[in-house]
């Protein structure tokens, strides 16, 4: 029997329902019950009033107490009212009767996911014999990718993204998310080449479909300089959503470019390819020139530094000495901090600026009262791009300097609104931003050779000496290790992700040629016992050495413990193509010589070279893999020379890092940029 569903209202449903119990209609009449069911479900779908929906559902559940669909709908009513616990109870009743009810699973698992109840998801899957991996639905695959990511099971996370991609998914935002987060997971697995391939695909999709960054959407995109940082995805996904770029899609697009450019520093990507993706990113970010810059009238130049790293980040070793040594007769200094003002690490930065630092010597001896007002700190993390640009412009900042590049919580898109007449990138990222709205990049002639083929969207402005000013803020005293010619200790203290296949090959040959050596390798993550053991086994295999020639140290959060590692090594083995920066500076501070390799066309390759050459030790810089190997072997076989370096390298480096000459050149360069821009 057919019925016209559109003819029935809530009151008519109640009338039919009451008739069923008054005897006018037989409760055993399946046709009548089915009709009542369909009418009720139709009303539930058509009504926007949850009391009506709840009333109809309650009555239907009296007649159909085991109907999974009705149980799910009741859970949805409570979920809409944000009654999470009640929603979970109804969803669970539905799934007890129908474990693979996909719509209910999505809502049920998303609640668990959003509340970090990963164990409950694991338990559900176990109790139902791995049911989640038997359902072929892209929404489930997407949720499982997020679930495996929380478990740091990167292989399974990637597999779920790959299932979505292989299914022929056509939704562009979903594809961008899949390629981006799979790429980030490949980085976590130290598979840099696959990471770059997936991230390049994400960037190409963005460019091909002419997707643009949307302003006035506060973004929180994670892309730390450590490209092993985990991805961040939402548990649920409407895979039938339109291709319009929402706020979360905005974040995924930005994240794709951020991680691509960070990852590229770890490989030898050709300048032509980098230019292609820099241009794609530049196209992704719309530009605005709505701000007007009045003629400069004040005697002081207002310089602003934008960063998310005004905390305990390593960048502070380089920016704090600049902030504390600016000529305040010429410059008014502002810091725009893109982290919460209540953050403990941010307070730590404020302490350095206000009191001059910790410990004795160097920054620690500065005058607290004099330094207190040297820098004006603005906490801007809650401002969207337009509000921040307007605020910076209202302060009359003449020179705005980005210290993040494509690293975590950067504000590069704000620079595209052009709030200042001169915009510069410096320090925090070893490559181009790719944005033509950033006019200059500060470097030097060794870090960026004048004949380098590396692509930059910015004009390079070179310091006459090293482009860095370093101060070891912690001032931890380290006693240099006495050299034992029968047991020379090599050290790798850079971020572990910088240890490339090229470096491994060189180290293996050095260790083979010099049996009187051992190597100490510091890991960059908090490793448990099993993962630490797996890293030990990995390095024994790739370096072809026995266990007694290898020391692997897990993650050290304590700065004193990190500093102590320098007292245990004789030579710091630099990495390539991504060399050290802070690690190299600390090594020289702690009297440990560094062997590095130069490459004319890659800035990230050359920072250690710049530091060493400008400190007066060009002989420690190699220009080929073979020379890197031979220079290291020669130094290992000359313990007296190692001892000599341990006496002279620290004072030479400290002489290079005197703030007076550096700041004179640095401020002259800033004034030259301002003059050139009119």
pLDDT at 454 over 70: yes
Predicted pLDDT at 26: 62
Is 293 domain-assigned? no
Residues 181 and 222 both lie in one domain:
yes
Q: What is the largest CA-CA distance in the chain?
A: 107
How many domains, the chain? 3
Residues 548 and 443 both lie in one domain:
no
Return the CATH number at 442: 3.40.50.11380
Q: Name 563's Cβ contacts closer than 8 Å, sequence gap at least 6.
A: 474, 476, 478, 586, 590
Map residue 402 onto helix, strand or coil. Answer: strand
Residues 346 and 282 both lie in one domain:
no
pLDDT at 62 over 70: yes
| pLDDT tens figures, 300-312 | 999 999 999 998 8
Residues 272 and 393 both lie in one domain:
no
Give the closest residue to 360 by CA, choosing from 199, 508, 473.
Answer: 473
Distance of alpha carbon 385 from alpha carbon 653, whole angstroms: 40
Distance of alpha carbon 549 from alpha carbon 539, whole angstroms: 10
Structure tokens at 594: 């560094």
Distance of alpha carbon 431 from alpha carbon 463, whole angstroms: 17
Residues 311 and 405 both lie in one domain:
yes
Give whole-number Cα distances, 172 to 16, 144, 203, 254, in Å: 47, 20, 12, 15
Residues 643 and 500 both lie in one domain:
yes
Range of the domain at 255: 138-286
Predicted pLDDT at 232: 42
Phi, psi dihedrals of residue 640, rounded to the nearest 5°? -65, -35
Predicted pLDDT at 2: 32
Is 669 domain-assigned? no
Q: Across all residues in the chain, what is the average pLDDT?
A: 89
Is 665 domain-assigned? no
Distance of alpha carbon 444 from alpha carbon 462, whole angstroms: 4
| pLDDT tens figures, 341-374 | 666 556 666 666 654 333 334 444 455 455 557 8
pLDDT at 470 over 60: yes
Give the domain-ending residue among 463, 496, 514.
463
Distance of alpha carbon 126 from alpha carbon 624, whole angstroms: 54
pLDDT more than 70, % of the chain? 87
Structure tokens at 200: 């390049």
| pLDDT tens figures, 79-92 | 999 999 999 999 99
pLDDT at 225 over 80: no
Residues 438 and 569 both lie in one domain:
no
Q: Is the dihedral of CA 564, 568, 569, 575 positive or negative?
A: negative
| pLDDT tens figures, 631-660 | 999 999 999 999 999 999 999 999 999 999
Dihedral through CA 265, CA 270, CA 275, CA 277, nearest 10?
-60
How many C-beta neighbours within 10 Å does residue 25 have?
18
Give the domain-ending residue among 286, 310, 344.
286
For residues 613 and 586, the answer to whether their CB atoms sit within 8 Å is no
Least reliable range by pLDDT among 170-184, 328-342, 535-549 = 328-342
Which contacts (CB < 8 Å, 24+ apart) does range 550-556 have?
550/518, 550/519, 550/521, 551/518, 551/519, 551/520, 551/521, 552/520, 552/521, 552/523, 553/520, 553/521, 553/522, 553/523, 554/523, 554/526, 554/527, 555/523, 555/524, 555/525, 555/526, 555/527, 556/522
pLDDT at 244 over 80: no
Rg over CA atoms, the chain: 30
Angle, CA of 164, 168 and 169, to the nearest 5°: 60
Structure tokens at 227: 């490209």
pLDDT at 415 over 90: yes
Is 122 domain-assigned? no
Instruction: Answer whether the bond into residue 191 is a cis peptide, omega within 30°.
Output: no
Average confidence (pLDDT) over 524-535: 75
Dihedral through CA 352, CA 353, CA 354, CA 356, nearest 10?
60
pLDDT at 238 over 90: no
Predicted pLDDT at 357: 36
How many C-beta neighbours within 10 Å does residue 37 have?
16
Is 612 domain-assigned? yes
Residues 510 and 585 both lie in one domain:
yes
pLDDT more than 90, % of the chain? 76
Average confidence (pLDDT) over 438-443: 98
| pLDDT tens figures, 261-316 | 999 999 999 999 999 999 999 999 999 988 999 887 768 999 999 999 998 889 99
Average confidence (pLDDT) over 476-497: 96
For residues 439 and 460, the answer to whether their CB atoms sit within 8 Å is no
pLDDT at 383 over 60: yes
Helices (H), 474-550: 501-513, 529-543
Residues 451 and 546 both lie in one domain:
no
Structure tokens at 661: 């000459």
Residues 310 and 279 both lie in one domain:
no
Return the CATH number at 167: 1.25.40
Angle, CA of 252, 338 and 471, to the nearest 5°: 120
Is 426 domain-assigned? yes
Return the CATH number at 502: 3.40.50.2000
- Buried/exposed code over 279-295 (b: 16+ C-beta within 10 A; e: otherwise): ebbbebbeeeeeeebee
Phi, psi dihedrals of residue 490, rounded to the nearest 5°? -90, 150
Residues 394 and 441 both lie in one domain:
yes
Predicted pLDDT at 675: 93
What is the DSSP track for 574-618?
A: --SSS--SHHHHHHHHTT--EEEE--TT-HHHHHHHHHHHHHT-G
Average confidence (pLDDT) over 178-207: 96
Which contacts (CB < 8 Å, 24+ apart) does range 78-84 have?
79/107, 79/111, 80/50, 81/50, 84/111, 84/115
Residues 449 and 583 both lie in one domain:
no
Distance of alpha carbon 417 from alpha carbon 215, whole angstroms: 10
pLDDT at 441 over 90: yes
Is 438 domain-assigned? yes
Distance of alpha carbon 352 from alpha carbon 350, whole angstroms: 5
Predicted pLDDT at 421: 97
pLDDT at 340 over 90: no
For residues 410 and 257, the answer to whether their CB atoms sit within 8 Å is no
Is 47 domain-assigned? no
Average confidence (pLDDT) over 64-72: 95
Predicted pLDDT at 30: 77
Predicted pLDDT at 345: 57
Predicted pLDDT at 556: 87
pLDDT at 239 over 70: no
For residues 346 and 311, the answer to whether their CB atoms sit within 8 Å is yes
Predicted pLDDT at 574: 98
């Amino acid at each position: 029997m057919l019925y016209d569903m559109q003819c029935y209202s809530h009151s008519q449903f109640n009338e039919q329902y009451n008739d069923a119990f008054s005897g006018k209609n037989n409760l055993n009449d399946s046709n009548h019950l089915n009709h009542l069911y369909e009418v009720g479900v139709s009303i539930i779908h058509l009504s926007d009033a949850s009391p009506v929906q709840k009333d109809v559902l309650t009555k239907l559940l009296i007649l159909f107490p085991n109907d999974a669909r009705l149980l799910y709908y009741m859970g949805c009513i409570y979920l809409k009212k944000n009654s999470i616990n009640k929603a979970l109870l109804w969803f669970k009743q539905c799934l007890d009767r129908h474990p693979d009810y996909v719509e209910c699973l999505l809502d049920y698992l998303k609640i668990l996911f959003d509340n970090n109840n990963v164990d409950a998801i694991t338990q559900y899957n176990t109790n139902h014999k791995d049911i989640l991996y038997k359902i072929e639905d892209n929404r489930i695959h997407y949720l499982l990718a997020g679930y495996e990511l929380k478990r740091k099971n990167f292989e399974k996370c990637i597999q779920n993204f790959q299932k979505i991609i292989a299914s022929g998914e056509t939704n562009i935002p979903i594809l961008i998310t899949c390629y981006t987060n799979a790429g980030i997971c490949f980085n976590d697995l130290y598979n840099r080449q696959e990471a770059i391939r997936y991230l390049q695909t994400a960037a190409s999709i963005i460019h091909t479909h002419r997707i643009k960054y949307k302003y006035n959407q506060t973004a929180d995109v994670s892309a730390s300089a450590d490209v092993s940082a985990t991805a961040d995805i939402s548990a649920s996904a409407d895979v039938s959503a339109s291709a319009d770029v929402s706020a979360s899609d905005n974040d995924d697009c930005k994240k794709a470019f951020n991680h691509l450019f960070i990852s590229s520093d770890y490989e030898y990507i050709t300048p032509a390819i980098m230019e292609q993706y820099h241009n794609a990113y530049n196209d992704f970010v719309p530009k605005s020139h709505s701000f007007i810059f009045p003629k400069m009238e004040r005697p002081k130049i207002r310089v602003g530094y934008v960063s998310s790293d005004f905390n305990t980040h390593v960048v502070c070793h380089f920016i704090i000495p600049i902030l504390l040594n600016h000529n305040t007769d010429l410059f008014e200094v502002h810091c725009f901090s893109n982290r919460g003002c209540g953050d403990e690490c941010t307070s730590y930065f404020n302490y350095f600026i206000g009191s001059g630092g910790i410990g004795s010597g160097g920054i620690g001896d500065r005058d607290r009262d004099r330094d207190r007002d040297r820098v004006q700190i603005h906490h801007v993390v809650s401002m969207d791009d337009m509000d921040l640009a307007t605020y910076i412009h209202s302060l009359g900042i003449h020179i705005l300097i980005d210290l993040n590049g494509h690293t975590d919580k950067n504000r590069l898109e704000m620079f595209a609104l052009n709030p200042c007449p001169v915009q510069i990138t410096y320090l925090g990222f070893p490559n181009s931003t790719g944005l033509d709205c950033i006019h200059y990049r500060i470097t030097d002639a060794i870090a960026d050779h004048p004949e380098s083929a590396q692509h930059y969207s910015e004009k390079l402005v070179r310091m006459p000496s090293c482009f860095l000013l370093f101060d070891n803020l912690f001032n931890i005293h380290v006693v240099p290790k006495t050299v034992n010619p029968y047991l020379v200790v090599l050290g790798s203290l850079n971020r572990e992700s910088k240890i490339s296949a090229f470096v491994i090959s060189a180290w293996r040959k050095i260790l083979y040629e010099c049996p009187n050596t051992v190597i100490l390798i510091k890991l960059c993550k908090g490793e448990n016992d099993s993962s630490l053991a797996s890293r030990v086994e990995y390095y024994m295999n790739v370096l072809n050495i026995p266990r007694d020639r290898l020391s692997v140290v897990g993650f050290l959060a304590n700065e004193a413990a990190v500093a102590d590692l320098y007292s245990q090594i004789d030579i710091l083995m630099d990495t390539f193509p991504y060399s050290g920066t802070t690690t190299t500076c600390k090594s020289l501070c702690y009297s440990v010589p560094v062997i590095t390799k130069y490459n004319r066309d890659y800035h990230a390759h050359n920072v250690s070279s710049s530091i060493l050459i400008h400190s007066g030790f060009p002989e420690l810089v190699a220009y080929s893999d073979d020379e890197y190997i031979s220079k290291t072997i020669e130094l290992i076989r000359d313990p007296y020379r190692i001892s000599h370096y341990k006496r002279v390298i620290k004072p030479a480096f400290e002489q290079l890092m005197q703030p007076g000459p550096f700041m004179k050149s640095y401020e002259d360069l800033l004034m030259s940029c301002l003059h050139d821009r009119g």
